[in-house]
Chains A and B, each alone.
Chain A
Amino acid sequence: MTILVVAESIALALLTVLVVSLLRSHAEILRALHDLGVSLDPSQPAAARTFDLRDTATRPHTKHSDPKPGPLSDVFDLMGTTPDGEVAAIAVANSDGPTLLAFLSSGCLTCRDFWDMLGRGETIELGGRDASVVALTRGPGDESPAEVAALTSSSLTTLMSSEAFEDYGVPVSPYFVLIDGGRVVGEGAASSWVQLRNLLGKAVADGAHGRTRRELLSGRLRAALVDADLRAAGIGPDHPSLRPDQQDH
């Protein structure tokens, strides 16, 4: 009898968790529909393919693309506005050829050289293919569109998007991310074009061995690599150097 009561209590608890999860999911769906301006009021006549949108011209709605399957889903498509106010969505995860994301700002002096170089059409070559370049700054709330417009050129794809800085975990400007085949194959900060080319060249070389810089930097493989290096040097978990208390005896 006691066992029956306990079993029923456990089942009831699991059902409660399930119901709460479903309600939460339903709330998120309703919130998303509301953001899109879809009216669920049954008193309103159905109007296929029309709906009421709030004006989002100054606040582009960002939605991440589905990440590529695999352990490192760290490539995100870009969404933002151009310095002249055009709302733009730029595919990166599944784009043709490599893409160089240049995270710049209007206020950093080091960025000025990169604005000039990129504006003249300079890019990074990857396996004989020129990377298409997207220059990114933070959004209009953090950067002046007029100042960014003065720095960029009409031929350089330039996007103002604070979300992109967050998506790619950009710590500083200038910062560069090289993407190919839906993966980040190189990234880092550089203070000159030559330094950038060297940085990404090494990153690409690492990528040829099946490891990307992001994999190394994020530590997800770093632990395994360190263990492998230690074992190669004859240092295992039981090595005396790892047990200082035993060495004293």
Chain B
Amino acid sequence: MLVHAHGIAVSLPSGWDARIRWAQPAETAAPPALRLPGVAVPSDGTTNTVTHIANFRLPERRGDYGSRAVDLMRSRHVFAALVEFDPEAAETPLFGTAGVPRVRAARFSPNAMQRVMPRMCGAQWFFHVSDRAFCLYGVLGSHAMRRALAAQLDGVVSRILIAPR
């Protein structure tokens, strides 16, 4: 199933949900758990996109980085949030990596979650595509099964296409 909006296209396998919306301008550009010391992320109030993909039914109320959705996850579930930042951020070193990243199990850690949850793990990537800056935040329902789950998530993330704004 193909879902696309605002220049972002996601090709979903059977059994996956996806949501794409405009996010409200935030006072902080990154959640506290992911903010890097000494790094300033441009935030001029531009309305940016938030994309959520998951292999489980997404709840209606969700935070940009998946709060409330992550609470529903079981061991076989995966979730990813693709959060867009202001265009100026694409020129900063933090977002210097070009292209949608590959999701590898080795990047996931129980300590890399926005909120540490038992037996789960998370990972984040910062990158730019088509002069647009993004943070990809992935959550796996089981750290023990991260190889299989990361491969599932990579299969979907690798098919994300992003056009210029």
> Could you tell me if B163 and A79 are in contact, using CB atoms closer than 8 angstroms?
no
A52 to B17, CA, bound (A): 24
Known A50-B163, A85-B22, A154-B61: A63·B5 in contact at CB below 8 Å: no
Known A37-B163, A48-B99, A89-B18: A79·B57 in contact at CB below 8 Å: no
> Could you tell me if B161 and A51 are in contact, using CB atoms closer than 8 angstroms?
yes
Looking across the interface, which residue of chain B has its beta carbon closest to that of A93?
B14
A194 to chain B, nearest CB (A): 27
Point out the residues of chain B lying under 8 angstroms from A51, CB to CB: 161, 163
Point out the residues of chain A lying under 8 angstroms from B20, CB to CB: 86-87
Point out the residues of chain B lying under 8 angstroms from A22, CB to CB: none
Q: A96 an interface residue at 8 Å Cβ cutoff?
A: yes
Q: Digit string of B8-21 for contact with A (CB within 8 Å is 1, else 0)? A: 01101011111111
Point out the residues of chain A lying under 8 angstroms from B129, CB to CB: 49-50
Point out the residues of chain A lying under 8 angstroms from B19, CB to CB: 82, 86-89
A16 to B96, CA, bound (A): 54
Point out the residues of chain A lying under 8 angstroms from B61, CB to CB: 154-155
Interface-lining segment among A53-61, A165-173, A212-220, A226-234: A53-61
> Could you tell me if A61 and B17 are in contact, using CB atoms closer than 8 angstroms?
no
Number of interface residues of B (CB under 8 A): 33
Point out the residues of chain B lying under 8 angstroms from A158, CB to CB: 60
> Could you tell me if A49 and B161 are in contact, using CB atoms closer than 8 angstroms?
yes
Point out the residues of chain A lying under 8 angstroms from B15, CB to CB: 91, 93-95
Q: A77 an interface residue at 8 Å Cβ cutoff?
A: yes
Point out the residues of chain A lying under 8 angstroms from B162, CB to CB: 49-50
B15 to chain A, nearest CB (A): 4
B154 to chain A, nearest CB (A): 14
Looking across the interface, which residue of chain A has its beta carbon closest to that of B129?
A50
> Could you tell me if A50 and B56 are in contact, using CB atoms closer than 8 angstroms?
no
Selected contact of B130 from candidates A50, A91, A94, CB within 8 Å: A50
Known A49-B129, A87-B20, A91-B15: A77·B5 in contact at CB below 8 Å: no
> Could you tell me if A79 and B9 are in contact, using CB atoms closer than 8 angstroms?
no
Interface residues of A (CB under 8 A from B): 36-37, 48-53, 55-57, 60-61, 63-66, 77, 79, 82, 84-91, 93-96, 132, 154-158
**Besides A86-B19, A95-B57, A155-B59, 5 other CB < 8 A contacts?**
A51-B163, A53-B161, A89-B12, A95-B15, A157-B57
Interface residues of B (CB under 8 A from A): 1-7, 9-10, 12, 14-22, 56-57, 59-61, 99-100, 129-130, 160-164
The 9 closest A-B pairs by CB, nearest first: A94-B15, A86-B21, A87-B5, A53-B163, A89-B3, A89-B18, A87-B20, A94-B14, A63-B2
A-B contact pairs, 14 of them (CB 8 A): A48-B99, A49-B100, A50-B164, A51-B163, A52-B163, A53-B163, A55-B7, A57-B6, A64-B1, A65-B14, A86-B21, A91-B15, A132-B57, A156-B60
